[in-house]
Amino acid sequence: MVVRIRALASWLLLLLSAVAVPGPATAQQTPEVTFGLIGTWTGPTSDAGRHYADGALHFFRWLEAEQGGIVQTDRFGPVRVKLVWSDDQYNPQLTLSTFRQFSSQQNLVGLITWGTGPNLAIKEEVNKARVPTLSASFHKGLLDEPGEYDFFLSMTYDDHMQVLLDYVEQLHQGSSPPRVAFNVHPSPYGRSPLAAGKAYAEARQMQVVASQEMAADILDATSQVLDLRRNRAEYVLFQNVASPLSVFLRDARRNGLRATFLGIHYAGGEELLHLAGANADGFITTSASRTWYEDVPGNARLKQMNDRFSPEEQVRPPHYAQGAATAMVLIEALKRAPTLDGAGVKAGLETLRAFDPQGLALPVTFTPERHAGADQVLLYRLNARTNRLDFIGEFAPAH
């Protein structure tokens, strides 16, 4: 009997040991990676920047709420995604210090950013740290050396400007050449497409009659408007944001400037209609992303995100879709990454071929030699009667 009890005790001890030792499935933890978002919710250009930042932030919050932050990757199975984020107030030094903090304290494998100046400020360090950075700026200088880790979804600002000048050619009637003027923000962002725009206009036999700068905090644009009247400008092309542009359009109407107004991406959207009202009617804008009311698959999710996280916002400009699409592209790159680090996410980005961010932006293609994602831009005309943007078409530079 004693032998049988000892044998039973030994069997129970063996059974308990087997239960207590975790098997491979329970020992393996879900790997975790961190993405960063340095947005511009406040400060200069935040009238557009806050919507872009919200779009990216809300996408990650939705991912956390609906999927527990888990992304199913091709090579590593489920991976947990963490987001760290901060407002840089469009201050390049704050952007730089925030990036240093993020990259030193986190396993940072990707970054979403906003403005041209801040992105130029961190360009060297993001490449040294090997953190792929998707920027809202389409400044072509971001892709110059050492821009190996810099990406953006659209064509460059130079390409946007060429599309607008091509459209001017389509609009223009009469035998005399179009008389064009440029009005830009006094910053690397504003000046980015200016030289290329002037050169392209002159090569197309247009007359460049004026080149102006207009600060974001301008309260009166009468002097700029009168200068354009004196120079008989027929087409004015803007690289700016909605707030100063609304002031210009108000003063253009007051002072009888009869011209066609066109702008690049951040110049015209629902926020310009909100600020300028009837003065914005007929304004023509390029865009890298779709509008709030268009029938594309991603808009249903976008409206659910906005209702959950910012119910006070009734309508979002295209920059909200752009922010969400940027986050979507970064997550897709993670799914394809061969390693769970910045270099791996970069490699994942460079496999994208006509990737569709649910219609929120044009198809995105990246390769090791190409980090500007699109081949075309969207063109819209602002309609003050319906308070919406009327779609004109998709355009690529003609020359």
pLDDT digits (tens, 9 = 90+) for 154-204: 999 999 999 999 999 999 999 999 999 999 999 999 999 999 999 999 999
Answer yes or no: is pLDDT of 143 > 70: yes
Average pLDDT of 362-367? 98
The confidence band for 28, taking pLDDT boundaries of 50, 70 and 90, is low
Residues 249 and 173 in one domain: yes
102 vs 22, which has greater pLDDT?
A: 102
Are 145 and 242 within one domain? Answer: no
Same domain, 142 and 257: no
279 and 172 share one domain: yes
- Predicted TM-score (pTM) of this structure: 0.91
Domain extent at residue 277? 157-291+380-395
Q: Give the pLDDT band (50/70/90) at residue 146.
A: confident
Whether the pLDDT of residue 19 is over 70: the answer is: no
- Encoding tokens for residue 102? 């993020």
The residues, any chain, with a CB within 8 Å of residue 235's CB and separated by 6 or more, are: 168, 171, 172, 178, 179, 180, 181, 259, 260, 261, 262
Q: Does 1 reside within a domain?
A: no
Are residues 200 and 169 both part of a single domain?
Answer: yes
d(CA 135, CA 114): 6
CA atoms within 13 A on the CB side of 107: 12
Residue 339 is assigned to a structural domain of this protein: yes
> Residue 112: which pLDDT band, with cuts at 50, 70 and 90?
very high
Is residue 180 a part of any domain in this protein?
yes
| Each residue's pLDDT tens digit, 45-83 | 898 999 999 999 999 999 999 999 999 999 999 999 999
> CB of 233 within 8 A of CB of 183?
no
Residue 7 has what pLDDT?
39
Residue 33 has pLDDT above 60, yes or no: yes
Q: What is the pLDDT of residue 269?
A: 86
Q: How many structural domains comprise the chain?
A: 2
Instruction: Check whether residue 266 and residue 301 sit in a common domain.
Output: no
Same domain, 235 and 384: yes
pLDDT digits (tens, 9 = 90+) for 95-109: 999 999 999 987 899
